[in-house]
Amino acid sequence: MTRALNFNAGPATLPLPALELARDELLDFGGTGMSIMEHSHRGKDYEAVHHEASSLMRELAGVPDTHQILFVQGGASQLFAQIPMNFLPAGKSADYVVTGAWGEKAFAEAQVVGKMLAGTARLAATTGTGDGKDKSYVRVPTDPEIQRDPAAAYLHYTSNETIHGVEFHRIPEAGNVPLVCDASSDFMWRKVDMSRFALVYAGAQKNVGPSGIVVVVAHKDLVAQGRKDIPKIFQLRTVADNDSLYNTPPTFSIYLIRNVMRWVKAEGGLDAIEKRNRDKAKTLYDALDAHAGFYRAPVDKESRSVMNVVFRLPSEALEEQLLAEAKKRRMVGLKGHRSVGGMRVSLYNAVPLEWVSSLAELLGDFAKRNG
């Protein structure tokens, strides 16, 4: 078997040991004579998996006791609507910081929910120019640029914009306002101070598992304050009160998260993972900067993402040629998002440094031949 050098943005490459364990246990989980997929979600075998997944995540990500870890279905996109449904009370306003396409979507959904439930979503800062041109979404705002409403119900931002390759390398100042973060594409690539957040959510399909499941790390007080006049199934309280087992959860996805968490631990935890991720990002950005006249990385250096590296070549024809040459080397997932074009390399936890070094070598060589 030859594994692809998979640089997909999500669903993305998963750690091989996590997949191998799933393969080995697929037909017979722990001598029970059935797959974990076939077990009842109320049975003790599945329950042990469920709790191992969340307790390992708590330990590795440093989630404090004040916060609960929830597994929610529907993708991070569902949370775009579910967060204002829960935490934007009637007559109140919530602040949004927009630094790319995903923040735009979160803000748009909050506006819709606000209209339905008599609240307001307010734009506190954007680094978009509105014309979709070169200078749009190439950086994160400074704290003074974020025009915060001290009475806001919460402040929402996207810590890493997967399409634009723009990442916050600090936690923005929120004062006393609860801070809510979409960390879908940079959750658990390093340790962060979780106590600073009222709520962090992340689609699993980048650093923690397969798609279709969202990890939510929420302060218990915030969850308790959530609205009760929305359907029970959309209340995060329902998930929290039932330990993410209110209805049938995606058991196999949670099982895979458990396998990925075991792998993170075996690798030495998030400190070791962070070091490797920084090496990977440096290797790639250095290769691009070494041929800066050929490759154009549009994002300001201070806001460059460690997870998603975006760049362009002098022409679309050259981009196609590079993709074809990469494909011959079994490198896949390098095409930029269809909305922005160009190239995008995703460097999630399970991408080894060797893949990135091979790609950096190809980039150097390609620039010399075509520059």
Catalytic residues, by residue number, are 102, 182, 206
Cα dihedral across residues 276, 278, 282, 284: positive or negative: positive
Q: Shortest distance, CB of residue 126 to ligand PMP, whole angstroms?
A: 16
Q: In terms of CB distance, is 163 or 313 closer to ligand PMP?
A: 163
Binding-site ranges for ligand PMP (CB under 6 A):
10, 75-77, 102, 158, 162, 182, 184-185, 203, 211
Q: In terms of CB distance, is 10 or 209 closer to ligand PMP?
A: 10
Q: Shortest distance, CB of residue 332 to ligand PMP, whole angstroms?
A: 17
Q: In terms of CB distance, is 13 or 322 closer to ligand PMP?
A: 13
From residue 343, give the alpha-carbon distance in Å to each of 158, 293, 333, 336, 358: 21, 16, 9, 4, 16
Q: What's the CA gap between 214 and 234, in Å, rounded?
A: 14
CA torsion, points 198, 201, 207, 208, in degrees to nearest 10? 100
